Amino acid sequence: MISPDFATLVFFLLVGHSLADYPLQSDFLAQAKNRHTALGQVFWPHALFAHSMIHGGFVALITGQLWLGVTEAVVHGVTDWLKCEGKISLNVDQAIHIGCKVLWAAIVALGIQP
């Protein structure tokens, strides 16, 4: 786990998010996680799960809290599904993702356990 200092956690959680949502999300994965694309018609549940697990893995590794990684994977998957369905915009999607990282950092910094 990274230092439980709030600012340090936020920094590294945002680094993890930036890696997982951009270079680690290939064009294939970005298209395949959306059920409305040609690739997504075949792959969307698997691709959305994989993308969400990448995010959850970063959160678990950075915070040292498996339960936060699982929570991140679920919230990230639901958020991206809503974006792919056109129910929220890209900006709202990113605001939710960043807000979650701040929340996870606060939970760890405050020593909150499930």
Average pLDDT over residues 83-107: 98
Residue 61 within any structural domain of the chain: yes
Question: Could you give the angle at the alpha carbon of 56 between the alpha carbons of 43 and 62, nearest 5°?
Answer: 150
- Asked whether residue 1 is domain-assigned, the answer is no
Number of domain units in the chain:
1
pLDDT band for position 114 (cuts 50, 70, 90): confident
List Cα–Cα distances, 99 to 17, 29, 34, 79, 106, in angstroms: 11, 23, 23, 12, 11
Q: What is the pLDDT of residues 41-92, one digit of tens each?
A: 999 999 999 999 999 999 999 999 999 999 999 999 999 999 999 999 999 9
> The domain containing residue 36 runs over which residues?
6-109
